[in-house]
Structure 1
Amino acid sequence: MLLYNVTLILDDTAAEEWLQWMQETHIPEVMATGMFVSHRLLKVIDSPNEGVTYCAQYVAETMENYTEYQDVYAPNLQADLNERFKNRFVAYRTLMEFVS
């Protein structure tokens, strides 16, 4: 099992709009790809960064699911994020493997 984590640091002015868009549009679109079995959305409360920090996490059962997501679906989904919130966020993406 793999955990795909996307950490976003948002300008204060974009945070509320982004959160609504994530919950109503983006996360449902990501999950509709069928490449992930679960997700969660977390708000970082002790971030050293200015702005508001969130982590969107998605669980993939196999590396093949994750790779297919990255190759087939991620480019368009990330383009939508970049277009809607241009210059109002930075994102860091990591892939982790469950150990226990």
Structure 2
Amino acid sequence: MLIYNVTIKVDKSINDAWLLWMKEIHIPEVLATGCFTHHQFVKLLEVDEADGITYAVQYFAESKANYNRYIELYASNLREAGIKAWGNKFIAFRSLMQVVH
């Protein structure tokens, strides 16, 4: 199992609207690609919130092929939608992790 982790720092001025957009639009669109089985959406605690509030979304993929399909076919358009909606009011970085039992 792989976890595609997206950590996002969000400007406080858009936080409430951005959260709604994530829950009602963006996350459902990512899951609708069929590349991930489920997700987890969390707020980071014990971090400096002077520049914004930090969240992470973890999308779970059953295989590297599913993750690669997402990156190749869907990631660019979905990232652009976020930039179009929120401009420079957020910053995101991404990482791929493997579950270790």
TM-score using structure 2 length: 0.95
- Alignment-derived partner of residue 90 in structure 1: 91
- Alignment-derived partner of residue 70 in structure 2: 69
- Alignment-derived partner of residue 60 in structure 1: 61
Encode CA deviations 1:23-81: one digit per residue, 9 max, x unaligned.
00011110010000010100112123521111011000000000000000111100000
Q: After TM superposition, where is structure 1 displaced by more than 4 Å over at least 4 residues in a row?
A: none
Q: Figure out how many residues of one structure are paired with residues of the other and give that number.
A: 100
For 1:70 and 1:23, locate their aligned partners in 2 and report how far apart those are by CA, in whole Å: 21
**Matched residues, percent identical?**
44
Gaps (5+ residues) in structure 1? Answer: none
Q: Aligned AA for 1:17? A: A
Gaps (5+ residues) in structure 2? Answer: none
After TM superposition, the structure 1 = structure 2 runs for residues 1-100 of structure 1, keeping only pairs within 5 Å, are 1-49=1-49, 50-100=51-101
For 1:22 and 1:46, locate their aligned partners in 2 and report how far apart those are by CA, in whole Å: 22
For 1:64 and 1:53, locate their aligned partners in 2 and report how far apart those are by CA, in whole Å: 29
For 2:17 and 2:44, locate their aligned partners in 1 and report how far apart those are by CA, in whole Å: 17
Q: Aligned AA for 1:45? A: L
Q: Aligned AA for 2:40? A: R
CA RMSD of aligned residues (A): 0.8
